[in-house]
Amino acid sequence: MQFTDRAEAGRHLAGRLQGEAAPDAVVLGVPGGGVPVAIEVAAALGVPLEPLVVQRLGVPFQLELAMGALAPGGVLAVNAPVLRAARVDGDELAAEVDHARAGADDRSRWLHAGREALELRGRPAIVVDDAIVTGATARAACSAARAAGATSVVVATPVAGRAGLAGLAGAADRVIHLEAIAAGEAAGGRYADFRPVPDDEVVRLLSGPSSRRATPRTGHGDPPEEDGRLAVPERAIGMVVLAHTSRLAEDGPRYRWIAGRLRDAGLATLSLNLLHEDEEMDWRAAHDVPRLAGRLDAGLQRLRADATLSALPVGVFATGNATAAALSLATGPGGGPFTAIVSHDGRPDLAWPALPRVAAPTMLIAGGRDEHLLELNRAAFGRLPPTGRLAVLRDAGHLVQEPGALAMLTGLATAWFADRLDGGVPAPG
């Protein structure tokens, strides 16, 4: 089954919960995507809704992959298999926890808009999210609910994977899901519209009864095409390659959203994951910049071989270690294969020797709250030619969940590419 959007999924989930929820229960919606689902559940059951902020902890070299989650009250849930496979040590985990704690406190204050959180002591809790993949977020939410005194905890979600369900063993009294996804299947594939729901949209949805049935709107136009593998708008003026090193990033709603906005600006998009699925947890593979660069260059051959697209100027939007791959290719005459580069939360320092020779105008974008990554980007920017820019999203972390952060990131990237790629021969519509 494919849901039209989170609101429809919430109505189906509410139907499954009818008759099973106690009248004094509290629905805990996990921001962002869990809240529009939870609104429908709470409204149908006639019980109150409370946002429960849970901050994901990303693997340092694979930020889209959750190695754990932090919930209110300092409740930490870690994904031990991911920690072992990614070789994350105690200091790295502690640094990510500190970063997440500051972000969680700020988000919680924003989402509660000055009001006190509902009292959970002595009441059943229903934790609702839009999908459960690793189970870390839901497990942290369950622990936080129990620490707050909930008498029982049920987890309810429209979509769940086997690993996520296994990860909740012993954490929840019961787990209810409507659709199961296979290993490697993207949860977003079960929704026709899986656009991100930033915190300012969550605040709007929670603002009162008039918006309880509202469908989240984070922009205009139709949802981005599935996965954004290759999508060409009518009379495209340029091409942007979205280079990742994670299937979760490639399939994630943030990057689908960014790709959709680039296409709104007349830019074709090609999404490339530079790592195979079995390499994504391999530290050596993730840091093998020459191999990543070779795969990025091989992906570009698809564009060069297409007579319709070969005349379009090409930019690259890179994240994580894919940034180093893009920069290492951009040292040839005229910027190599690229007319412009944008990096978000990237690792340009991994291409340190090549930085002074990068010929493509490059904008590095980093979150002001991620001090370590920001310093790496500042140091790298000092070695780049003077045609670039360092943009700091002052109040944002690496997942750009903060109010307005995703819109700011998208606006910066779109303007950078539109200004520099508008000069090729438009692709026919």
Beta bridge partners of 423: none
Residue 1 lies in a domain: no
**How many domains does one find in the chain?**
2
Q: How far apart are the first and last CA of the chain?
A: 33
Same domain flag for 172 and 290: no
Q: Which amino acid is residue 120, in one-letter code?
A: L
Strand order in the sheet with 340-346: 230-231, 267-273, 238-244, 314-320, 340-346, 362-367, 389-393
Same domain flag for 155 and 243: no
Phi, psi values for residue 51, rounded to 5°: -75, 135
Q: Which amino acid is residue 116, in one-letter code?
A: E
Count of C-beta atoms within a 10 Å radius of residue 172 = 24
CB distance 197 to 218 below 8 Å: yes
State CA 145 to chain mean position distance: 25
Same domain flag for 190 and 44: yes
Structure tokens at 64: 């889209």
With cut-offs at 50, 70 and 90, classify the pLDDT of residue 429: low
Residue 299 has pLDDT above 70, yes or no: yes
The helix (run of H) or strand (run of E) holding residue 81 is helix 80-86
Same domain flag for 262 and 153: no
Mean pLDDT of the residues in the chain: 82
CATH number of residue 366's parent domain: 3.40.50.1820
Same domain flag for 201 and 318: no
State CA 40 to chain mean position distance: 23
pLDDT of residue 79: 65
Q: How far apart are CA 377 and CA 391, in angstroms?
A: 10
Structure tokens at 318: 């890179």
Full domain range(s) for residue 261: 226-421
pLDDT of residue 335: 65
Nearest in space to 186 (alpha carbons), one of 100, 138, 249: 249
- Residues 158-200 pLDDT 10s: 999 988 898 888 889 999 999 999 877 888 889 998 888 887 7
Which of 151, 184, 211 marks a domain boundary? 211
Strand order in the sheet with 125-128: 49-51, 26-29, 125-128, 153-161, 174-181
Average pLDDT over residues 77-98: 72
Q: How far apart are CA 180 and CA 382, in angstroms?
A: 48
pLDDT of residue 223: 30
Same domain flag for 122 and 263: no
Structure tokens at 402: 């903060």
Residue 318 lies in a domain: yes
Same domain flag for 240 and 157: no
Residue 175 lies in a domain: yes
Same domain flag for 287 and 162: no
SS3 of residue 19 by DSSP: coil
Average pLDDT over residues 82-106: 72
Residue 144 lies in a domain: yes
Q: Which amino acid is residue 277, in one-letter code?
A: E
SS3 of residue 11 by DSSP: helix
Residue 220 lies in a domain: no
Same domain flag for 18 and 63: yes
Same domain flag for 84 and 123: yes
CATH number of residue 22's parent domain: 3.40.50.2020
Q: Which residues contact 68 (CB under 8 A, 6 or more apart)?
A: 56, 57, 76, 77, 78, 79, 82, 83, 93, 136, 140
With cut-offs at 50, 70 and 90, classify the pLDDT of residue 336: confident
Same domain flag for 199 and 348: no
Residue 219 lies in a domain: no
Which of 176, 211, 246 marks a domain boundary? 211
pLDDT of residue 318: 95
Same domain flag for 246 and 203: no
Q: How far apart are CA 213 and CA 230, in angstroms?
A: 34
With cut-offs at 50, 70 and 90, classify the pLDDT of residue 78: low
pLDDT of residue 310: 86
Q: Which residues contact 274 (CB under 8 A, 6 or more apart)?
A: 243, 244, 245, 292, 295, 296, 322, 325
Q: How far lies 246's CA from each of 105, 251, 278, 291, in Å?
A: 28, 9, 11, 15
Phi, psi values for residue 14, rounded to 5°: -60, -40
Residue 119 lies in a domain: yes
Structure tokens at 203: 């605040």
Which of 183, 211, 239 marks a domain boundary? 211
Percent of the chain with pLDDT strictly greater than 90? 39
Residue 176 lies in a domain: yes
